[in-house]
Structure 1
Amino acid sequence: MSKPSDRTLRIILADDHPIFLIGLRVVLEQGGDAQVVAEAGSPVGLNEALKSYACDVLVTDFMMPVDQQNDGLRLLGRIRRDHPQLPIVVVTMLNNAGLFSSILALGVNALLSKASLAGELPAAILSIRQNKHYIADSVKQALLEAGDYGSDALVSHEQLSPKEQEVLRLLAAGRSVGEIAAQINRSKKTVSTQKVSAMRKLGLANDASLFIYLQEHGLT
């Protein structure tokens, strides 16, 4: 898997509804800068596609029930462990703030609602090209209403320490804690501590609220 760039993106699609797969392909390929290299309709099929095809982005439904294998969080966790650098776009019909927070905590790059894919999927792919995260408006609204993120930050990001601001900027650019540590020559523990410290000062409770804060303040 190579990093997304200005060239044509190779995309793997996964959804257990064939008609929805067709719709996803149409939306992704209409601009001419993305190519769907494989499709999967089950967790097993997705695993085989990821082994067989080089890709730059995975776009997957959250839940693809097969027998008893319908745990979307477990599926995403396994994909992230097996393919730590692969950008993942998750789409879902569900509308649960707690679930959204759990999905974002797994390190996905974009989280979208199936109800608004025509407009938001191209925007999510553009964000991934720019090494940024993307959260659909409906997802942000659900998190806001659930109280997972508030606008009453204790301080503004300008008031963070220079090192904390640096970590936030790199997180906003799509870097993981490990990648940031290697880039700025600090230990993962130090970077993690600076991330937690910044979130605490900003009044952010979790990664979902951090992603929203970064987007709303123009840091992504």
Structure 2
Amino acid sequence: MRPSAIALTAALIMTAVPLAATSSELSVTVTQSGSAEPVTGAVISIATFRKVAPVSAEIYQQNRAFHPHLLVIPVGSSVDFPNRDNTQHHVYSFSPAKTFNIELYAGRPEAPIVFDKPGIVELGCNIHDHMRAFIIVTDTAAIGQTNESGQVTLAIDPKYAEGGEARIELQVWHPRLPDNTRPVVREVDLGQPANITLSLEPEPATDGSLDRLQQRFREL
């Protein structure tokens, strides 16, 4: 049985927190600039010497939405895009990390898409403009998403401490960054909790209505 995309994302994030015997940990808290509200779902990563093996995952379409909205996968992973709606979809990405186009289809595409470069991939549907999702393709094992309290704990490769480094760079990404095509970089001190603030765009308005073109494909 194919594991779900959510389970695979969770498994990848779990690798960011191995046993303390092999690494130290960095606790990160992310809040929103101006309000100090916790930021949920921010993706935090640190360059490491450890890599993660590719996985097979999926992002399915149901109720004219992508599920999950955000998927974190290692470089070289393959992602399937099954359509569970009775409406056809046309999935694409123009992102430099992966450009692809799955033309109008129902059911399951002929083959999964392989994501062979690290970066941020934004997904869209050429039939339903409101449909949007993101894939974070990573080449590091130290990566995770902030919880409802805006917190995440990452494993620090002990080689950093051995090298006498006192500070480390974090890459921080969120879909509502003003420029969400790239992460922002924050430098923090090792050995103490990190507090990061982000300036985010407002939540986008949602519109569940179907236009005429969407209606034509609803029963296909």
TM-score by length of 2: 0.29
Bigger Rg, structure 1 or 2: 2
Work out which structure has the larger RCO, using CA pairs closer than 8 Å and 6 or more positions apart in sequence: 2
More helix by share: 1
